[in-house]
Amino acid sequence: MSTVTTAAHLMNTYFKWPIRLVKGQGNRVWDDKGREYLDATSGIGVNALGHVPPTVAKRLHEQVDTLWHTSNLVEHPLQEQLAEKLAAISGLDRAFFCNSGAEANEAAIKLARRYMQKVKGEERFEIITFTQSFHGRTLATLTATGQDKVKDGFLPLPEGFIHLPYNDVQAVQEAISSKTCAVMLELVQGEGGVYPAEEAWVKELRKLCDAHGALLIIDEIQTGMGRTGEWFSYQHYGIKPDIISVAKALGSGFPVGGILATEEVAQAFAPGTHGTTFGGNPLAMAAGIATVETLLAEQAPAKVKGLHQQFMVHLQAIQQAHPDKVKAIRGKGLLIGLETTQAAADLITYIREKHGILLLVAGPQVVRLLPSYITTEAEIEQIAAALKDALQNV
């Protein structure tokens, strides 16, 4: 049988890199020609523990031989276990599980709307989000997203979303009202260019939501599970949200998404109000439980903080050597953006081809580093050397 295939029968939805990965282990991936790459993307924030982490692989193997799927009409001990673990690290009370980030944000939006309309008995439905945000590709979540490119050709969009400039106190003060159902945001905008939220602004958002009876939803899909050096990014800011969404790193590569909410808000989802066939499936929960247990055992947030410091030493040295080419270094933990005067896509292509390192962009002029939490000092040096070479030679 021939192994040569083409993409003729795939929808052409991605700008693809011309490589075909067939194997991964730790921070390394290999293509079909046997070339090895260092993955500093974590598969876009997913493989936080590296590829095929042994603890998660073992748990999945055991689950594969035990039970794959049941309906959500029966009780789910594994969902209960994962919910309990996530509640403990987040300080929130109840979880709902689904299969992706966009689905998690859909659930967050639905929960917020229903809480207002059914629990509080208020007809408010407006959701405030921010420019340059990214919340997903379903109709509601692309509407929530503050970037026009994801909306092109998909009209009409659902009603009730408005977008405000990020880190702007006055804009929110002016827009928030008795019609506001929720304010929804990432605390480090990932896809939009690696922009962290300012502390005073975030504290003010919490106060404004409380004063106007609106909910605060934090999209932790990219920033959650230790990525920023805390379990969840809001823990940097001394605030507590009403709802958070999680996905990417939660299953180490097995698709898992979910939302967590306070007891009060979670009451809005009564039986029959929201659901999913696959969400919370035993395989996904096994991956999630093993991932959280491993992150806890590795003290992931503290580890990520340490790795951030190591990266910053190297990146700041590069900026000092090339102040004309490096405009800014931003981010938290292992979500770091390097803004340059060059085309970020050209830089990451050069680094992939010449140095065998996979990196991402976040907008046209930002190189995004999203490495795993098991990145070593030697790998950090390797990534920094490649960036330096690219800035000098592209």
Ligand X SMILES: *Cc1c(COP(=O)(O)O)cnc(C)c1O
Residues at the interface with ligand X (CB under 6 A):
100-102, 105, 134-136, 186, 190-191, 219, 221-222, 247-248
Which residues 6+ apart lie within 8 Å of 186 measured at CB? 133, 134, 192, 197, 218, 219, 220, 221, 222, 223, 233
- Within 10 angstroms of residue 162's Cβ, the number of other Cβ atoms is 13
The reply to whether omega before 156 is within 30° of 0 (cis) is: yes
Comparing CB distances to ligand X, the nearer of 63 and 100 is 100
Q: Of 231, 276, 278, give the one whose Cα is nearest residue 255.
A: 278
Closest separation between CB of residue 177 and ligand X, Å? 26
Closest separation between CB of residue 284 and ligand X, Å? 13
Comparing CB distances to ligand X, the nearer of 134 and 195 is 134
d(CA 58, CA 323): 47
Comparing CB distances to ligand X, the nearer of 136 and 301 is 136
Comparing CB distances to ligand X, the nearer of 128 and 384 is 128
Comparing CB distances to ligand X, the nearer of 97 and 318 is 97
Comparing CB distances to ligand X, the nearer of 248 and 330 is 248
Closest separation between CB of residue 249 and ligand X, Å? 10
Closest separation between CB of residue 13 and ligand X, Å? 12
**389, amino acid identity:** D
CB 53 within 8 A of CB 283: no
DSSP 63-86: HHTT-----TTS--HHHHHHHHHH
Closest separation between CB of residue 45 and ligand X, Å? 6
Helix (H, G, I), strand (E, B) or coil at 144: helix
Select the residue whose beta carbon is closest to ligand X and give its number.
101
Closest separation between CB of residue 220 and ligand X, Å? 8
